[in-house]
């Protein structure tokens, strides 16, 4: 199987470069993109008359600039890892379904579904221990978890460089056993495969993300009148799936960035319906902050604006 960008760095001078030179080279080739993490900056404008005021603020600067793999490169590496270690990945699903099918042999369909649901809930909790998913469709949460694993994977520079060099022998058993993130990804994907198979058979919950080769493209085609283009849709999806807390407030900040950049064609009601239908996020209003002062909202908007600016 061919993987885009595998072995794409053939220039021997690349490996003589410093880390910064390599980053800039990969940025120029559009294999890397720039991202800014939030840092805490002392706040010089403290009002001593305001009880409980925190004496720092968040901000973006060159000091917290990061070079990370592009989304396309990330997806290619992730698919490569799943295929390379497929034997490990398939082990758990095969054993589970053999045991499950043996257990439910002779059961009525109703009893089979009841046991399948029990197993579905158990495995879901194993995938996301302690996760609160009140706002979301379970497969939306799992999709977000996969994206988190992708981000952790591409933080492993040795893996990225070995992939770009085309070093197939680097990805052997020793690398797998000595790299915890590879274990975590394979365990997660094995459980995900079990959940998807159970859901395909018993239809516990709507799955619009994993049910096709390009779930995002299919969803975009359904909501393309709402967004300026597919890149906008991918950005929105990526951001929403990365939100871990204070989801309604983060949605409001995201909406402001979309609106200020003319990336939305619909109104707030259309956007809220999209959130509910696709991500299972139910909110009743999106506040307008144009006449309000809210530092946290402003910080989120600044961060999201930078994320959009650097989005591939």
Q: What pTM, to 2 d.p., does this model score?
A: 0.65
**What is residue 14's predicted lDDT score, i.e. its pLDDT?**
92
Pull the structure tokens for residue 207: 């799955």
Q: Are 172 and 73 in contact (CB under 8 A)?
A: no
CA 111, 115, 119 angle in degrees (round to 5)?
165
Give the mean model confidence (pLDDT) for residues 116-129.
Answer: 92
* Residue 213 predicted with pLDDT over 50: no
The string of pLDDT tens digits covering residues 53-67 is 555 455 555 666 788
Structure tokens at 179: 């790299």
Lowest mean pLDDT among 101-105, 122-126, 134-138, 247-251: 134-138
Residues 6+ away with beta carbon under 8 Å from 32:
23, 26, 67, 68, 69, 70, 73
pLDDT in tens, 108-121: 888 999 999 999 99
Q: What is the pLDDT of residue 28?
A: 92
Q: Give residue 196's pLDDT band: very low, low, confident or very high (50, 70, 90).
A: very high
Q: What is the pLDDT of residue 68?
A: 87
Residue 25 pLDDT greater than 50, yes or no? yes
% of the chain with per-residue pLDDT over 70:
85
* Domain locations in the chain as residue ranges: 12-70, 73-211, 216-309
**Residues 214-238 pLDDT 10s:** 566 777 777 888 998 888 988 888 8
Predicted local distance difference test score (pLDDT) of residue 135: 54
* Span 261-294, pLDDT tens digits: 999 988 889 998 888 887 778 888 888 887 777 7
């Amino acid at each position: 199987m061919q993987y885009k960008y595998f072995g794409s760095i053939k220039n021997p001078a690349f490996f003589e470069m410093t880390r910064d030179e390599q980053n800039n080279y990969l940025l120029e080739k559009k294999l890397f993109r720039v991202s800014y993490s939030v840092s805490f900056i002392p706040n010089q404008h403290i009002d001593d008359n305001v009880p409980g005021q925190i004496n720092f603020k968040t901000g973006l600067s060159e000091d917290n600039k990061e070079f990370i793999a592009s989304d396309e490169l990330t997806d290619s590496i992730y698919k490569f890892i799943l295929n390379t270690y497929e034997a490990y990945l398939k082990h758990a699903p095969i054993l589970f379904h053999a045991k499950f099918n043996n257990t439910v042999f002779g059961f009525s369909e109703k009893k089979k579904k009841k046991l399948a649901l029990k197993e579905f809930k158990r495995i879901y909790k194993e995938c996301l221990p302690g996760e609160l998913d009140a706002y979301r469709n379970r497969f939306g949460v799992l999709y977000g978890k996969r994206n988190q694993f992708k981000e952790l994977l591409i933080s492993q520079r040795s893996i990225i460089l070995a992939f770009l060099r085309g070093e197939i022998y680097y990805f052997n058993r020793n690398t797998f056993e000595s790299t915890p993130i590879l274990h975590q990804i394979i365990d997660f994907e094995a459980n995900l495969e079990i959940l998807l198979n159970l859901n395909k058979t018993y239809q516990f919950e709507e799955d619009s993300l994993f049910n096709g080769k390009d779930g995002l493209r299919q969803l975009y085609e359904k909501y393309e009148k709402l967004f300026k283009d597919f890149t906008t849709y991918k950005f929105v999806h990526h951001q929403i799936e990365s939100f871990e807390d204070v989801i309604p407030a983060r949605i409001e900040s995201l909406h402001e960035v979309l609106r200020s950049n003319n990336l939305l064609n619909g109104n707030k009601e259309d956007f809220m319906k999209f959130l509910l239908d696709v991500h299972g996020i139910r909110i009743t209003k999106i506040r307008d902050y144009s006449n309000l002062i809210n530092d946290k909202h402003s910080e989120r908007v600044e961060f999201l604006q930078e994320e959009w600016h650097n989005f591939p």
